[in-house]
């Protein structure tokens, strides 16, 4: 074991170490502003990611810098706040020390807000060959891969090989899968044929595979049905009640016996808790999440909390914990901030109360579905109105006026020109089976 | 040798293959719009880079996507135009074939517009350890390295090691070196102290090393003197008449006998022609450039041209060819377009006439130097007016209204808030000697 400690100046206030700067982590850190604690935020990136718009980065609609925001900027003037870019390695609950890649960090209160990671359900072959979409790097790799595929397709005449480059298979019919399928179909309709006039985009198939009978699980039947109709009208091939059995980089084997051929399998099929080592196995529950009580306390530890996707707060209404989405994370982060203040003032903790504001998904130009909860009433809307509300809500949720302005310009630009600006190949891409052997042998 | 050909549909018009989509290449391709030729543009990237603003990407001022623009979008509606993303491997001048990473491409006219690459003057150690700033990847790697250095510096108490992370050495007193030094000093003054309140930025030294006695070689003495004054007032340490002898990733050995300690050596000391294989050695002249006549023809080849940085058009006024900068490239690209049209119409070629519009460099907030040539008169200005002109000229030179708008917003934002938005660590960075052993051994 290493002996050095991370250099973070101790104050005479108790130290709250927050592990992870997603929605829950930053809301908690903000809520602790001017509380009598020292806040140390740990993340392996130096920026917060607005995950709901990752799919737009992947489909060349917006710049990565518009949906990510440096932590140091968010907390620039927050007193007794420290950010450290580091990987968490292990918690020593007896000594109250977190081991990280930059050394040991002692804590008085530890809040685990590590979120979730892509769930490949133990299939290492799929993990190696498919493209997840959970981080900004994933989104950029997907963007690079999509564009590189078409550049390569220009050199291919063999129809099967051509289809393997031009076809896309998305696994997972949740919001990410649905939104990605919608965005790809918009590109197929308005953008790619202009960029690649030599390719025939009638040949570009977009498949969306969903294990259950319905899309957008958790939303209303009306939303799910409308989403299905919109996707089908856009020419997306839907595979309901269907699962992927294997993928070798080229052939997607379905459990129905059928198979699809693609070099680009996009994996949006599920997430699993991103656990840190050192907590007892008994703290975990289904989905690799930490079981927490109504105060977000991890079972058995009075000074360790978990918030957001990693926390499973099991209630009568939510026997599996809250959905692994932004809203519960944001609200738990804020709530825990208040509870830690109560704790310090030796007041009674308040059990978390979730205020469901509903959910929505956008599927394409002028098209979205929304189940809104307003003053306890559910208001369901689909089509243009839902799309407008979706845009408004996502725009105001971004951090920083500059980001809002730039995303707004990009959206307006795309809307009026039927174009997207960021079709750039920079950095990492996914290379499956090489295509060199497929090049035509004739001399032109 | 491979036998396959790249799949590019032949038309009955002669084919002009343009190798490289920098300023010269895209201006030429545009100038050939609707000429009776087929244009094939080859580049290893799928986008054009506006190189003069790379230093702002490196210093977190603007998004990469604002200064790069997809070729396919630039030439979206140009008839009989083909873009291919490929590496050029070799020219077979006898068979009139260009060998590329995607196969053979036959040409009737070949235009080499491969530009220039960083010149490390044969020092492989410096090449391995220093950071160049010639491509968008270079600029992003530099941004990531600068920011990562400060994140690491938080864990260091040893003063020498701390300085090695916080000090920056820039080699090369041309526009790139001067602009980079100015931008770093603005960050040191306004941005980094807010981001890293735990670090003492009095300790951050910025060194600028120039081999000759004067900065901004090629500009007027007034501009050079003013640049020197501005940089010195901003606290940049200038080393004139000084060269780097060696660099091991930590110690910069100067030829004056002195040495500097830094983990970040930024190499803006010079460029050299990026030559393609297959041309006779005799075609090359100083600086690894292709000697061309007044019509941009490569000596000895009636159907091979070179334009931009790679072309050395030696004239009485320019015994070493034109400066390797944007203006000669842009003008040669346009001019060659007209000459190729004349060639096809069997008209006499016109010798290239360079219209010098002057040059400029920005050094910081409200500060720049400019030598403008207006109707043959040189108009020298420094300070706020030059800065304003610099901004205007660079803004209108960007491709695409969306890019201009977004860069304008970023510049206004930075100007009024004394802040930059893009302080993000994504992707590749330069890792010199690891810092782990430097971590303090005391337990906190």
- CATH number of the CATH domain containing A289: 3.50.50.60
Asked if A402 lies within 8 A of B423 by C-beta distance, the reply is no
Looking up residue A426, the CATH number of its domain turns out to be 3.50.50.100
Cβ neighbours, 10 Å, residue A6:
24
What is the pLDDT, as a whole number, of residue A375? 85
pLDDT digits (tens, 9 = 90+) for B17-34: 999 999 999 999 999 999
Q: Does residue A321 fall inside a structural domain?
A: yes
What is the pLDDT, as a whole number, of residue A3? 53
CB < 8 Å to A63, chain B: 63, 65
Q: Does residue A57 fall inside a structural domain?
A: no
Per the structure block, which two tokens stand in for B362?
């920005």
CA distance B210 to B256: 12
What is the pLDDT, as a whole number, of residue A429? 83
Q: Which residue of B has its CA nearest to A442?
A: B4
Q: What is the length of chain A?
A: 444
Crossing angle between the packed helical segments A326-344 and A23-31, to the nearest 10 degrees:
30
Query: Given B85, B104, B424, which is nearest A68 (Cβ)?
Result: B424
What is the pLDDT, as a whole number, of residue B145? 96
pLDDT-derived band at B5 (thresholds 50, 70, 90) equals: confident
What is the pLDDT, as a whole number, of residue A252? 97
* A106: β partners: A97
Closest CA to A66 of A444, A440, A410, A419: A410
Q: Which residue of B has its CA nearest to A414?
A: B402
pLDDT digits (tens, 9 = 90+) for B105-114: 999 999 999 9
Asked if B442 lies within 8 A of A5 by C-beta distance, the reply is yes
Q: Is the pLDDT of residue A420 over 80?
A: no
Residues B254 and B160 in one domain: yes
Q: What is the length of chain B?
A: 444
pLDDT-derived band at A428 (thresholds 50, 70, 90) equals: confident
Ranking A437-441, B146-150, B352-356 by mean pLDDT, the lowest is A437-441
CA distance B415 to B411: 6
Chain A nearest-CA distance from B354, in A, is: 33
Query: Given A73, A402, A413, which is nearest B423 (Cβ)?
Result: A73
Residues A185 and A249 in one domain: yes
Q: How far from A310 is each of A123, A291, A297, CA to CA, in Å?
A: 21, 9, 12
Tell me what the mean pLDDT of segment B425-434 comes to. 79
CB < 8 Å to A419, chain B: 73
Looking up tokens 């005391």 gives B442
Q: Which residue of A has its CA nearest to B44?
A: A425
Q: How many CA atoms lie within 13 A of A34 on its CB side?
A: 1
Q: Does residue A52 fall inside a structural domain?
A: no
| Domain count along chain A | 2
More confident of the two residues A405 and B3: A405
Contact B117, B274 (CB under 8 A): yes
Tell me what the mean pLDDT of segment B227-239 comes to. 97
Tell me what the mean pLDDT of segment A223-242 comes to. 97
What is the pLDDT, as a whole number, of residue B433? 66
Q: Does residue B230 fall inside a structural domain?
A: yes
CA distance A308 to A296: 9
pLDDT digits (tens, 9 = 90+) for B176-228: 999 999 999 999 999 999 999 999 999 899 999 999 999 999 899 999 999 99
Cβ neighbours, 10 Å, residue A111:
32
CB pairs under 8 A between A and B: 158
Question: For chain B, what is the radius of gyration of the CA atoms?
Answer: 23
Residues B338 and B246 in one domain: no
For B209, residues 6+ apart whose C-beta sits below 8 A from its C-beta are B169, B170, B171, B172, B173, B239, B242, B243, B244, B254, B269
Q: Does residue A38 fall inside a structural domain?
A: yes
Domain interval for residue B110: 15-44+86-118+271-344
Ranking A271-285, A326-340, B341-355, B399-413 by mean pLDDT, the lowest is B399-413
CB < 8 Å to A198, chain B: 9, 82
3-state secondary structure chain B: CCCCECCCCCCCCCEEEEECCCHHHHHHHHHCCCCCCEEEEEECCCEEECHHHHHHHHCCCCCHHHHEEEHHHHCCCCCCEEEEECCEEEEECCCCEEEECCEEEECCEEEECCCEEECCCCCHHHHHHCEECCCHHHHHHHHHHHHHHHHHHCCCCCHHHHHHHHCEEEECCCHHHHHHHHHHHHHHHHHHHHHCCCCCHHHCCEEEECCCCCCCCCCCHHHHHHHHHHHHHCCCEEECCCCEEEECCCEEEECCCCEEECCCEEECCCEEECCCECCCHHHEEHHHEEEECCCCEECCCCCEEECHHHEEECCCCCCCCCCCCHHHHHHHHHHHHHHHHHHHCCCCCCCCCCCCCEEEEEEECCEEEEEEEECCEEEEEECHHHHHHHHHHHHHHCCCHHHHHHHHHHHHHHHHHCCCCCCCCCCCCCCCCCCHHHCCCCCC
Contact B39, B78 (CB under 8 A): yes
What is the pLDDT, as a whole number, of residue B439? 44
Query: Given A65, A147, A413, which is nearest B63 (Cβ)?
Result: A65
- Which of A406, A409, A413, A418 to probe the B interface (max B CBs under 10 A)? A406
Tell me what the mean pLDDT of segment A213-223 comes to. 94
* A85: β partners: A43
Q: Does residue A63 fall inside a structural domain?
A: no
Asked if A155 lies within 8 A of B47 by C-beta distance, the reply is no
Asked if B440 lies within 8 A of A136 by C-beta distance, the reply is no
pLDDT digits (tens, 9 = 90+) for A277-288: 999 989 999 999
Residues A242 and A365 in one domain: yes
What is the pLDDT, as a whole number, of residue A435? 63
Query: Given A137, A194, A421, which is nearest B426 (Cβ)?
Result: A137
CB < 8 Å to B40, chain A: none
Query: Which contacts qualify for B309-314: CB closer than 8 Å, 24 or more apart?
Result: B309/B22, B309/B24, B309/B115, B309/B116, B309/B271, B309/B273, B309/B274, B310/B20, B310/B112, B310/B113, B310/B114, B310/B115, B310/B116, B310/B273, B310/B274, B310/B275, B311/B24, B311/B112, B312/B273, B312/B285, B312/B286, B312/B287, B313/B352, B314/B285
Residues B250 and B135 in one domain: yes
Q: Which residue of B has its CA nearest to A47?
A: B424
Q: Which of the listed residues A344, A378, A402 is the one where a domain comes to its end?
A: A344
What is the pLDDT, as a whole number, of residue A438? 46
CB < 8 Å to B46, chain A: 147, 151, 423-425
Q: Which residue of B has its CA nearest to A49?
A: B424
Write b or e for each residue in A330-360: b if 16 or more Cβ atoms lie within 10 A of its Cβ, otherwise e.
bbbbbbbbbbbbebbeeeebeebebebebbb
Chain A nearest-CA distance from B408, in A, is: 11
More confident of the two residues B377 and A91: A91
CA distance A83 to A35: 17
Ranking A192-206, B302-316, B423-437 by mean pLDDT, the lowest is B423-437
How does the average pLDDT of chain A come out, rounded?
92
CA distance A156 to A151: 10
Residues B147 and B241 in one domain: yes
Residues A327 and A399 in one domain: no
Per the structure block, which two tokens stand in for A3?
């002996």
- Which of B38, B69, B72, B149 to probe the A interface (max A CBs under 10 A)? B72
Q: Which of the listed residues B297, B316, B344 is the one where a domain comes to its end?
A: B344
Q: Does residue B51 fall inside a structural domain?
A: no
Q: Which residue of B has its CA nearest to A399?
A: B421
What is the pLDDT, as a whole number, of residue A440? 44
What is the pLDDT, as a whole number, of residue B44? 96
Residues B333 and B395 in one domain: no
Backbone angles phi, psi at B38, to 5 degrees: -95, 130
CB < 8 Å to B104, chain A: 443
CA distance A339 to A431: 48
What is the pLDDT, as a whole number, of residue A1? 42
Q: Does residue A62 fall inside a structural domain?
A: no
Per the structure block, which two tokens stand in for A301?
């530890």
Chain A nearest-CA distance from B73, in A, is: 7
Asked if A4 lies within 8 A of B443 by C-beta distance, the reply is yes
Per the structure block, which two tokens stand in for B322?
């034109």
Asked if A428 lies within 8 A of B427 by C-beta distance, the reply is yes
Contact B28, B97 (CB under 8 A): no
CB < 8 Å to B412, chain A: none
- Which of B1, B2, B4 to probe the A interface (max A CBs under 10 A)? B4
What is the pLDDT, as a whole number, of residue B441? 40
Asked if A137 lies within 8 A of B421 by C-beta distance, the reply is no
Q: Which residue of A has its CA nearest to B414?
A: A402
pLDDT digits (tens, 9 = 90+) for B57-102: 999 999 899 999 999 999 999 999 999 999 999 999 999 999 999 9
Tell me what the mean pLDDT of segment B242-259 comes to. 96
CB < 8 Å to B64, chain A: 424, 426
Q: Which residue of A has its CA nearest to B103?
A: A439
- The DSSP code for A36 is S
CB < 8 Å to B147, chain A: 46
Residues B407 and B369 in one domain: yes
Share of chain A above pLDDT 90, in %: 81
- Which of A195, A199, A419, A436 to probe the B interface (max B CBs under 10 A)? A195
Q: Is the pLDDT of residue B321 over 80?
A: yes
Query: Given A3, A72, A140, which is nearest B443 (Cβ)?
Result: A3
Query: Given A82, A104, A423, which is nearest B73 (Cβ)?
Result: A423
Backbone angles phi, psi at A347, to 5 degrees: -95, 170
CB < 8 Å to A147, chain B: 46
What is the pLDDT, as a whole number, of residue B442? 40
Tell me what the mean pLDDT of segment A45-53 comes to. 95
Residues B263 and B301 in one domain: no
Residues A258 and A390 in one domain: yes
Residues A149 and A227 in one domain: yes
Q: Which of the listed residues A286, A314, A344 is the one where a domain comes to its end?
A: A344
What is the pLDDT, as a whole number, of residue B6? 84
More confident of the two residues B240 and B2: B240
Tell me what the mean pLDDT of segment B150-175 comes to. 94
Crossing angle between the packed helical segments A384-397 and A401-417, to the nearest 10 degrees:
150
């Amino acid at each position: 074991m290493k002996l050095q400690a991370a250099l973070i100046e101790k104050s005479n206030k108790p130290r709250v170490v927050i592990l992870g700067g997603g929605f829950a982590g930053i809301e908690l850190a903000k809520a602790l502003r001017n509380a009598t604690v020292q806040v140390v935020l740990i993340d392996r990136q130096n920026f917060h990611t607005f995950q709901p718009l990752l799919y737009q980065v992947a489909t060349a609609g917006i710049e990565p810098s518009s949906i990510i925001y440096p932590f140091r900027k968010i907390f620039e003037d927050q007193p007794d706040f420290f950010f450290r870019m580091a990987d968490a390695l292990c918690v020593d609950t007896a000594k109250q020390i977190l081991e990280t890649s930059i050394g040991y960090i002692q804590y008085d209160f530890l809040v685990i807000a590590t979120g979730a990671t892509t769930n490949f359900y133990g299939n290492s072959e799929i993990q190696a060959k498919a493209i997840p979409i959970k981080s900004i790097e994933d989104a950029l790799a997907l963007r690079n891969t999509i564009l590189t595929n078409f550049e390569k397709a220009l050199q291919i005449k063999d129809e099967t090989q051509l289809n393997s480059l031009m076809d896309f298979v998305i696994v997972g019919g949740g919001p990410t899968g649905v939104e990605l399928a919608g965005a790809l179909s918009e590109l197929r309709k308005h953008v790619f044929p202009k960029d690649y006039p030599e390719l025939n985009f009638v040949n570009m198939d977009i498949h969306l595979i969903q294990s259950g009978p319905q899309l957008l699980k958790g939303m209303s039947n009306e939303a799910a049905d409308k989403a299905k109709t919109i996707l089908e009208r856009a020419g997306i091939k839907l595979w309901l009640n269907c699962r992927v059995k294997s993928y070798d980089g080229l052939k997607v084997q379905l459990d129905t016996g059928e198979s699809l051929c693609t070099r680009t399998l996009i994996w949006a099929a599920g997430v699993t808790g991103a656990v840190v080592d050192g907590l007892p196995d008994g703290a975990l529950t289904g989905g690799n999440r930490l079981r927490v009580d109504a105060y977000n306390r991890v079972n058995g530890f009075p000074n360790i909390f978990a918030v957001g996707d990693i926390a499973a707060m099991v209630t009568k209404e939510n026997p599996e914990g809250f959905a692994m989405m932004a809203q519960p994370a944001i609200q738990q982060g804020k709530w825990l901030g208040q509870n830690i203040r109560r704790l310090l003032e030796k007041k009674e903790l308040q059990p978390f109360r979730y205020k469901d504001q509903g959910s929505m998904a956008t599927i394409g130009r002028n098209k979205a579905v929304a189940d809104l909860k307003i003053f306890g009433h559910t208001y369901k809307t689909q089509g243009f109105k839902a799309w407008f509300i979706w845009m408004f809500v996502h725009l105001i949720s971004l951090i920083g006026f500059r980001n809002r302005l730039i995303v707004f310009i990009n959206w307006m630009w795309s809307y009026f020109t039927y174009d997207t600006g960021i079709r750039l190949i920079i950095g990492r891409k996914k290379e499956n089976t090489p295509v060199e052997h497929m090049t035509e042998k004739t001399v032109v």
